[in-house]
Chain A
Amino acid sequence: MSTAPFPDRARIDAFDKVRGATEYAADIQFPGLLHAMTVTARIAKGTMTELSTDAAMRVPGVVRVLTPDDFPPPPPTGGEDGPPPPPPTLEKRIAYRGQPVAVVVAETLEAAIAGAEAVRPNFADEQFSCRIDSAGAESESTEDWTAGDAAEAMAGAATAIEATYESPTQHHNPIELLATTAVWADGRLTIHECSQGVNVTKGSVAGALHLDPALIDVKSAYIGGGFGQKGLAQRQTALVAHAAMLTGRPVKLVLPRGQIFHVATYRPNSRHRIQLGADATGKMVAARYHAEHEQSRTGFFSPAEYHESPIRMYGIENYLGTAANIRIDRQAPGYMRAPHPQASCFAFESAVDELAYKLDRDPVAFRIENDTKVDPKTGHPLSSRLLNECLTEGARRFGWSRRSAAPGSMTASDGTQIGWGVAAGCYPSMMPPAIATLRIGANGSTRFATSGHEMGQGIRTAIAAVLLEGLDINADKLDIVIGDTTAAPQHMTAGSWGTAGAVPVAAKAVERMRAAVSELLAGRTVAGNLHRQLATVRRPYIEIEVSQVGAGQNDDALAQLREGGFVVAGPEYPEFTTMSYIAHFVEVHIELHTRRIRMPRVVSIADCGRVISPRTAASQVRGGVVWAFSAALREATEIDRRYGGYLNNDLADYVVAVNADIGEIEVGFVDQPDPLANSMGLKGLGEVAMVGASPAIANAIFHATGKRMRELPIRIEHLL
C-alpha cells in the first residue's frame, strides 16, 4: 500500500450540482405520471373506525384512493437478528399522530392534495403517552455494557462527579424531501427513491407487498442529504409501489415536510446519568452511566449503543453502562448523524470536563493523560488511536496555551464573555463487503459499478480519487454507478462506512485492471492512455470484477451481500478494535446583556486513518461542526404532551443554524494510515466529525460564564 497523501481534488459532481443538472429522485420524469398524497391520522392513538373516500373520488383528477383494505396483512416478523421488519403499510390501528391512513392518487399534484383533504376519516381515540415522562410511558431495560468492576472501583475513587444530561428530540431535515416514484412495467417494479440503502428498500417492499424481491429494482443515484433518515425503507415506499401496481401507471409521492416530521425517524429525547471517578493521581478509574431515551412501542433503535463510544473514549478500566427504552406512542426514532454519541458524548465529554475542573486539571492535558491503547470493552488492542495527536495539534493551532483557566476570567473590552472549550469524540470504524465491476472502453469511457450511496458526502469523489490515481483514463468520461440494485449488489451506506466499503474495492479493481492490461499487452509497449492502448490492440473494452470483505469476514459475507443483507464488520474485529477520533477546540462569545451565544472559531483535528479525498473530508468535518453547533444551541422539536405530534414542523420554526451563525472552522487531519483496518488504511469520518463538538461548545460556555449547561439546546434564556 502506498501511503502518500492523496492530492486535493474537486468534487467530480460539483459542476453538475451547481448547474442543477444532477437528477434527484423527485426530478426523474415519466410519461403518464400520477401524483400521490397521503391522508394522516388526527389522533395520537386508537383506531380508524370509518374511512369514506366518496368525496375524494369526486375531486376532478382523482384516480384512486388506497385504504388499509387494499393492502395484504403484514408479513411475519423475522428473528431478532434479521433485517428490521418492513415499515407497516396502511393500517386501521393508529400508533401515532400523523400516521398515514390513506393515499390519494391523481392526475395532478393539486388534485391529489385536494383529494387527500377531502378524505375525512373517523377515529376512536385512546389515552396516549407522547413524552418520555408522560403517564403510561413504559421503561424497558436493555443489555449492559461493562468492563471491569465499576461499583468497586467507584467506591475506591478519590474524586468523583455525578450529573445528568439531556438531549432533546431533534429531526434530520435534509433539504431533499422524502421522494418516491414507482414504475410497474412488464412484470417488474422499479422504485426511484432517495435511499441510503436501496437493498433494504427492495427487501422491505418485497416483504410488505408479498412480492418476489427478484422482481424489484431500486435506484438512488443522488441523495439530497440523508443523515440516517434515508437508511431504511420509508413508510411511504410500499404505498407508492402498490399504487403504481394497482393503477398500472408510474406514481410519485414527495412527502411534505410537515408530514415527514411525523413519519420519518428522528433523534430521540435522551437522558444520561453519569458518575465518573478518578484515583489520587487523577487517572479516571470508574464510570457508571445510565442512558434512556424515548422510543416507540415497537421500535428497535437501541439505547445500549449510547455506550459504544464513551466506553472507548479513555482508558477507564471499570465501566458499567446500563440503558433503557422508554416506550411511548410516537413513531420510531432512528439513526441521525452521529446517532448515539451526539447525545452520549455530549454527556460524557461534559462529565469529563466537570471532573477535570474538580481535579483542577487542564482539560486537554487531562484527556491526554487518560489515553489508552486497548479497547476497555474487549481487552483487544486498538488498531490505531491518534487522539492524543489530535488534541496536541488542535491545542497548538488553537493557541490553547494562552487560555486563562478560571471560568469567567476572559472578557472582551465591551464586556463580552469569552470561553475556550475542548472535547473529543470517537466513533466505530466499520466496513461492509463489496463487489465491483470495472470496465474500460477503447472509446474513452470507464464504468465502475459497486455498492454505495451518494448523499453529498462525496463517495464518488473518493472512488474517483483512487481510480484516477491508479489508472491512466479519461476523468471526464468516468461513470461511477452506485445506489442501484441493477448495477452491483448493494449494501446500506451509513455509519461512516461508505468509503471503507467502496475505496478498498476500487483499489483492488485498479490492481486487477493493471494486471489484466499488462497480460493483454504481453510485454508490448503501446503508447497513450488505457483507452488508446485498447484501441491500438483492437480490444473494444476490458472488464474485470473484484470483491472485498472486511477483516474477519469470508465468502459468507459476499453471499449475504448478494442477498441484500446487512453485513458490516467492526468496530470489534476478531483481533482488534478500530475507532476514529476527533478533537474539537471552540471559542464562544457571550454578549454581556442579551446573552446571545456566538462561536467565532473552531479548530477540529481528526484521526480517520488515511485521508482519501481531502476536500470532501474537510467538508464532512465542517458540516459535522455546523450541525453540532445547531444541535447544541438551536434545534429541538416541540411536542405538546396534550396532543402528540410535532408543532414546529417546518424550516421556519424548527430552528437550524444558518450561515450567519457560523464562524471560522479550521480542519486538520492526522492522516496516518491505520495498519489493520483495511487495505487502504482508512477509517470512517462522517459520523465522528460531529461527535464531541456539542460538548466542546457547552464546555466553552462553562469556561466563559461558570455556568454548567447540562441540557440541550442551550438558549438565551438559560444564560440571562
Chain B
Amino acid sequence: MQPFTYMRPTTAPDAVSAFASAGADARYIAGGTTLYDLMKLNIEQPRHLIDITAIAGLDKIETDGDRLRFEALAPMSAVATNDVIIRDYPVLAEALSKAASQQLRNMARVGGNLLQRTRCMYFRNGADGVYPCNKREPGSGCAALRGLDRGQAVFGTSDACTAVSPGDFPVALVAMDAQLEILGPAGSRTLPIGDLYRLPADTPHLEFTLAPGEMITAIVVPKTAAGRGSTYHKIRDRESYAFALASAAVALEMDGDQVSRAHIALGGVATKPWRAPEAELKLAGQRLTPEVALDAGRAAFSGASPGKYNGFKVELGARTVADALLIAAERSRS
C-alpha cells in the first residue's frame, strides 16, 4: 500500500472539483468495502482519496411519484430494508439483502455498489506479479483463460478477459431499466444503467463509462406494475455471504395467467449485468407453465460460451431463470 492524501468535502460540487484538481490518481470513496480491500491487495493504488460520505443529504430514498430514487450514499442495508421496496419491488430488496454480509451492507453505499470490481481469483491475487491479468496489467495476458475458470463468465467474454461482473444489485437495476444521475466536471447528465458497463473486448482494464471525476449521485428506477411480481433468485456456493454462481432478476407484468411483459437479467454469468431479451420475447403472451419457464431459461442461455470448468453455469443459469419466473409469477398473483 502506498501513502495517499485524504479529504472529506461536504458538498457534491466540492467533491467533483477536489477530484478535478487532484488528477488521475484520485478516487472517490464511499463505504470503502471494495476500494480499501483492493488497496490492501495493491490492485488499486490511488494517491488521493476523496471521501464522499460527509456530503450532507445525498442518502435519501424516495418512493413517491412515478419513480424510485436512491441517492448514492444510501447504505445498501437501508434500501434493502425499506418497506415500500420490500413490498413493491422485491427484486431490488433481495438483490441487496442477498449480497455480502450485514456488516458490509451497513457500510457499503448503493453508489459504490455499482462500481465494485471482479472477484476473478487471478485478478485479486496477482499484485506481486505472479498471475498475468490484462485487467490489472494491460497486455500481460489472462491467467484465467486456460486456468481454473469455474467462477468465470459465459457471456460477454473475450480472448483478453472472462471475468464476471460480480454485483447483484446492478443486475436487478438493469432488469428494471434504471437510470443514473451523474455529476461531473462538465456538469450533470443521466445514463441508462446498462450503459455504465463496458464489455472487456481487448481493453478489460476499462470497466465503466464514467469520465474521470464523474460521480454517481443517484439511481432512478421507473415505477412499473411488474415490480410486485418480481424476484432476485441467487444460487451460490453457500446460503449467505457468497457471490452468485448464477442469478436471475425477474419481473413480470401478467395479464391473468399470461405474461404481458417480462424483465429478465442475469448475474454471476456475464462480464457485465446481462439483460436477456431473447427470453423476454419468448415469454410475451405465453401462459407461464414450468415448461415455458424452462424454455425461456434455455433461451436466455442460448448464446453462452463456457470454458473448461464453468459449463454447468449454462444449465444452472437456465434453471435459475426458470425458478425465478415461477416465483415472480406466484408473487404477481398475490
Contacts and interface: CB of A to CB of B under 8 A. Distances in A.
A657 B130 contact: no
Given A596-B235, A658-B238, A716 B316 contact: yes
B155 to A, nearest CB: 18
Given A643-B143, A717-B316, 13 more contacts: A42-B128, A117-B1, A594-B235, A638-B148, A640-B147, A643-B130, A647-B121, A647-B125, A658-B238, A660-B239, A715-B237, A716-B316, A717-B312
Nearest to B317: A594
B235 A649 contact: no
B5 interface: no
- A647, A648, A715, most chain B CB atoms within 10 A: A647
A593 B317 CA distance: 10
B319 A655 contact: no
Contacts of A638: 121, 148
Nearest to B104: A652
Interface string A110-151: 100110010000000000000000000000000000000000
Contacts of B316: 594-595, 716-717, 720
B148 A647 contact: yes
Interface string A18-51: 0000000000000000000000101000000000
A560 to B, nearest CB: 44
B322 interface: yes
A653 B123 CA distance: 13
A645 interface: yes
Nearest to A662: B239
Closest 3 pairs between A and B when the two form their complex, measured CB to CB: A717-B312, A660-B239, A647-B121
Interface stretch (B23-31, B157-165, B240-248, B280-288): B240-248
A649 B143 CA distance: 17
Contacts of A649: 125
Nearest to A415: B290
A618 B130 CA distance: 45
B131 A113 contact: no
B129 A42 contact: yes
Interface in A623-658: 634, 638, 640, 642-643, 645, 647-649, 652-653, 655, 657-658
B42 interface: yes
Query: How big is chain B's contact interface, by range?
Result: 20 to 34
A97 interface: yes
Interface in B121-156: 121-122, 124-125, 128-131, 143, 147-148
A265 B289 CA distance: 52
Given A640-B147, A720-B315, A645 B238 contact: no
B319 A653 contact: no
Contacts of B21: none
A645 B130 contact: yes
A117 to B, nearest CB: 7
Contacts of B125: 645, 647, 649
A716 B235 contact: yes
Contacts of A716: 235, 237, 245, 312, 316
B319 A114 contact: no
Contact of B312 (A117, A634, A655, A720): A720
A647 B120 CA distance: 10
Interface in B302-316: 312, 315-316
Determine which residue in A640, A648, A660, A661 has the highest number of CB atoms from chain B within 10 A of its CB, and name it. Answer: A640
A191 B245 CA distance: 45
A649 B124 CA distance: 10
12 contacts: A40-B128, A97-B130, A640-B131, A643-B131, A643-B143, A658-B238, A658-B240, A659-B240, A716-B235, A716-B312, A717-B312, A717-B316
A717 B315 CA distance: 9
Contacts of B143: 640, 642-643
A114 B1 contact: yes
Contacts of A720: 312, 315-316, 319
B2 interface: yes
B323 A653 contact: no
A218 to B, nearest CB: 31
B119 interface: yes
Interface of B: 1-2, 42, 119, 121-122, 124-125, 128-131, 143, 147-148, 235, 237-242, 245, 312, 315-316, 319-320, 322-323
Most B CB contacts (10 A, CB to CB) among A42, A110, A593, A716 go to A593
A659 B319 CA distance: 26
Contacts of B147: 640, 642
B128 A658 contact: no
Contacts of A117: 1, 42
A114 B312 CA distance: 42
A432 to B, nearest CB: 37
Contacts, number: 75
Interface string A479-506: 0000000000000000000000000000
Interface in A431-471: none
Nearest to B314: A720
A594 B125 CA distance: 30
Nearest to B124: A653
Given A42-B129, A117-B1, A593-B322, A661 B312 contact: no
B237 A655 contact: yes
B307 to A, nearest CB: 13
Contacts of A110: 1
Contact of B238 (A40, A642, A661): A661
B262 to A, nearest CB: 18
A261 to B, nearest CB: 11
B323 A594 contact: yes
Contacts of A114: 1-2
A658 B316 CA distance: 22
B238 A660 contact: yes
Nearest to A656: B238
B326 to A, nearest CB: 9
A716 B315 CA distance: 11
Given A117-B42, A643-B130, A634 B237 contact: yes
A633 to B, nearest CB: 8
A653 B121 contact: yes
A42 B122 CA distance: 14
Contact of A658 (B148, B239, B320): B239
A686 to B, nearest CB: 24
A652 B245 CA distance: 14
A643 B121 CA distance: 13
B320 A594 contact: yes
A657 B238 contact: yes
A649 B119 CA distance: 12
A600 to B, nearest CB: 12
Contacts of A40: 128
B122 A647 contact: yes
A42 B2 CA distance: 20
Nearest to B243: A652
B234 to A, nearest CB: 10
Nearest to A653: B121
A42 B130 contact: yes
Contacts of A642: 143, 147
Interface in A53-68: none
Contacts of B129: 42
Contacts of B148: 638, 640, 647
Contact of A593 (B122, B240, B323): B323
Interface string A304-317: 00000000000000
A172 to B, nearest CB: 18
A655 B245 contact: no
Contacts of A42: 128-130
B319 A594 contact: yes
Contact of B239 (A113, A643, A661): A661
A453 B148 CA distance: 39
A593 B42 contact: no
A658 B130 contact: no
Nearest to A644: B130
A595 B236 CA distance: 11
B227 to A, nearest CB: 24
A595 B121 CA distance: 25
